[in-house]
Amino acid sequence: MVAAALYFPYDVDTPLNAQELENSRRYYAEAYKQSDSERKPPTSEYETKFLQSAEAAAQGSHIKEQVDRFVSQYGLHDRAVIEIGSGRGYLQDAGENYTGLDISSNVGRFFHKKFVLGSATAMPFADNTFDGGWSIWVFEHVPNPEQALGEWRRIMRNNAVIFLYPAWNCTGWPAQGYRVRPFSAFDWRGKLIKASIPIQSSTAFKAATRIPGRVVRDVVSGFGPTTLHYHRREPNYTEYWEPDGDAVNGLDRHEVTLWFRSRGDECLNCAGLAGSVVMKSDPLIIKIRK
């Protein structure tokens, strides 16, 4: 129980106030008006390598196939859909009426469909705009993930279906390369962290530290809308050691499921009535109920 208490996700958003949110929306709405010629051209070798590695990861995980299957299963091919954190538009042809949203002003040149420059936490769209959407490996990079989930839910119509697939439960290890660098690269504290990774990565340890908290949160969610809990992470933006070294949070799939369910939404791919406190790291498919 002590280990479970230590590993419980205590962190929550520090949300923008109403005026800050409105200012952000106005800024991105204005930014979207800029022409393609005003957007930044291709630049560094680093960017090229980043794009190549991102595409390779997507292909290796069969992301396109998963999204295509989602679009087909829920009849979204000609419906209004949005991709949050659309990057270079790898998935823009999954739907005919597609909109890509990304915070980077450098990616518009990759799109032949609608692209909007904007933040996941302040989207420049009216309420009830979209019938479906997806987000792949993005929410672990959003500083205020609950605010982003709230924005996503706001712009979706009743009975809209979303496909959410962040890198679940990101740890702090990738930022410093604990798994790939030698013991000699660390001080005694770092050596202890590196030595503990096999234990902390084990199924038994994960069960012991996560399941008790999930049970408690399951109970709490029955009393009304929950606040999203997660682990804040310190990203490394200067050195790349391994994937997700730039993650700013560690989101738990069960916790995100409860966030939606406690607002009346339905998880379409969760096992059992409570969604089961023993959950894999699969995508979430949520039907919005307003």
Residue type, 123: M
Mean pLDDT, the chain, rounded, equals 83
* Rounded (10°) angle between helices 188-200 and 203-220: 80
- Residue 34 confidence class, pLDDT cut points 50, 70, 90: very low
pTM for the model stands at 0.82
Mean pLDDT of the region 96-101: 96
Sequence-distant (6+) residues with CB within 8 A of 126 are 155
**pLDDT, position 208:** 86
Sequence-distant (6+) residues with CB within 8 A of 82 are 98, 99, 100, 101, 125, 129, 130, 132, 133, 155
178 neighbors 148 (Cβ within 8 angstroms): no
Tens digit of pLDDT for each residue in 73-85? 999 999 999 999 9
Mean pLDDT of the region 23-27: 55
Sequence-distant (6+) residues with CB within 8 A of 179 are 173, 194, 197, 242
Whether residue 42 has pLDDT greater than 50: no
Tens digit of pLDDT for each residue in 271-286? 754 445 555 678 999 9
**pLDDT, position 239:** 81
What is the per-residue DSSP string for the chain? -HHHHHHS--B---PPPHHHHHHHHHHHHHHTTS-GGGSPPP--HHHHHHHHHHHHHHHHTTHHHHHHHHHHHTT-TTSEEEEES-TTTTTGGG-SEEEEEES-TT-GGG-SSEEEE-BTTB--S-TT-EEEEEEES-GGG-SSHHHHHHHHHHHEEEEEEEEEE--TT--SHHHHTTTTS-GGGS-HHHHHHHHHHHHHTSHHHHHHHHHHHHHHHHHHGGGSPPPP-BEE----SS---STTTT--EE--HHHHHHHHHTTT-EESS-SSTT--SS--SPPEEEE---
Tens digit of pLDDT for each residue in 248-264? 899 999 999 999 999 99
- Residue 36 confidence class, pLDDT cut points 50, 70, 90: very low
Mean pLDDT of the region 101-109: 84
More confident residue, 266 or 18: 266
Cα(114)–Cα(140) distance, integer angstroms? 24
The percent of residues in the chain predicted with pLDDT above 70, rounded, is 78
Phi then psi dihedrals of residue 111, to 5 deg: -100, 135
Whether residue 200 has pLDDT greater than 80: yes
- CATH code for 2-287? 3.40.50.150
- Residue 22 confidence class, pLDDT cut points 50, 70, 90: low
- Residue 220 confidence class, pLDDT cut points 50, 70, 90: confident
For the chain, the straight-line distance linking the first and the last C-alpha, in angstroms and rounded, comes to 37
Whether residue 32 has pLDDT greater than 60: no
